[in-house]
Amino acid sequence: MNPFMKIMQLFGMMTVTVLGMLVLLLVTPDLEDSLLRVVGRYRHRHALSHSAVGQPDLSSPEVSNLDLLDTNIRGPALDHGRRAFSPWPFSAECARFQVHFARPRSLPMTALVSFPGSGNTWLRYLIETASGVFTGSVYTDRQIISKGFYGEAVSPDCGCTAVQKTHGFSVAGVVPLAAAQRAAEVRVFRGRGILLLRNPYEALISYRNFLYGGHTGFAPRTRFQGPEWERFASQLALVWRELAATWANYTHADEATLLHFERLRLEPSSELRRLLRFLRLAVDERRLACVLRHADGPFRRPPASSQQALFSARDPFSKKLHKILDQVIHDLDRTIQKRGWGRIPTHLYKFYTGNLHHNVSDVH
């Protein structure tokens, strides 16, 4: 082939590549839009369902025998015919550990529910690598699929993933007025779930960063100033409280459990062991040691950043926001105590002052 034809061939390949990237960007749905569509679908499901939240139907094929007795805790039935993922391929000690799908209908649906920005994706990484079973989602985020979260691409009711990520009604940015609407997703999951709770001050900052900087980027500092930031934080503080309160109020017995992000960060080994017991999945000590050795996962923001330095010097939360956020923390603390989930570890909450001057219980 002469030089001219080689140049033309190279130019053609580059053109096709660029066009392909443009098409991918155009056809990839916006994540926030997909979240809102899921909320609508769940509301529709609830409208068709009139059954109360209660104990799972033990005759259902979606309920594994692993649910019945603590003595049945064991490794899940894995589907070795499907694609697996190696989270630590370059580690001499940990490369042999893989993440698999469970066999279809072998695991019950279990919500991993949290307010956005609470560390849901990080916890999914820890559960997947500790259990060896993929986690799922009610959304479809192509970016995390590309990092090996293959359960993101399957139906959340496949019975082949350990838990299914959801943010419930919080992605709509408002609290549904009717109790039935607030509890709609609890019904979808038949009351079974893990509630991941994070300091709302830091969850709001993290969510803001995600909206403007993606999974690992940061929002411009101007996004934490002015009337729009005040509206965003004050409205979503109420959503943070009501999402958690809904799962506390509409689940029973041992169907659901609470996990504090701050305790997971301080004590990942004991918290992961507790979650695996809740999920009726066995603990492999060698695998768990690898998880703790590689605990950060692929989507953690840099621990030291200019944003953290800025917020240490200038509190992004006004006095009004402090009153609202401190109050919703206090309100939820009382709710989860009634549920039997203990106290919120407010001593680990950055920005929290504990000064209650303003009651927001009746604000919607």
Report which of residues 309 and 30 the model is more confident about.
309
Report the relative pairing of strands 256-260 and 78-79 from DSSP bridges: unpaired
CATH number (domain holding residue 303): 3.40.50
pLDDT at 74 over 90: no
Report which of residues 90 and 217 the model is more confident about.
90
The pLDDT of 323-328, averaged and rounded, is 97
Q: Where are the alpha helices (DSSP H) in 132-199?
A: 142-145, 179-182, 184-188
pLDDT at 16 over 60: no
Instruction: Report CA 28 to chain centroid distance, whole Å.
Output: 21
The pLDDT of 52-57, averaged and rounded, is 38
- State which residues form the domain around 266: 29-348
The pLDDT of 171-186, averaged and rounded, is 95
pLDDT digits (tens, 9 = 90+) for 275-318: 999 999 999 999 999 999 999 988 776 665 777 767 776 889 99
pLDDT-derived band at 17, boundaries 50, 70, 90: very low
Contacts of 345 (CB under 8 A, 6+ apart): 260, 262, 263
pLDDT-derived band at 223, boundaries 50, 70, 90: very high
Provide, rounded to the nearest whole percent, the portion of the chain with pLDDT above 70: 75
Q: Cα(171)–Cα(184) distance, rounded to whole angstroms? A: 14
Indicate whether 362 belongs to any domain: no
Indicate whether 21 belongs to any domain: no
Indicate whether 280 belongs to any domain: yes
Predicted pLDDT of residue 321 = 96
The pLDDT of 106-112, averaged and rounded, is 97
pLDDT digits (tens, 9 = 90+) for 38-47: 444 444 443 4
Indicate whether 13 belongs to any domain: no
Q: Cα(283)–Cα(270) distance, rounded to whole angstroms? A: 11
Indicate whether 16 belongs to any domain: no
Indicate whether 259 belongs to any domain: yes
Predicted pLDDT of residue 5 = 56
Indicate whether 355 belongs to any domain: no
Indicate whether 363 belongs to any domain: no
Q: Which residues pair with 79 in a beta bridge?
A: 101
pLDDT at 344 over 60: yes
The pLDDT of 163-191, averaged and rounded, is 96
Number of domains present in the structure of the chain: 1
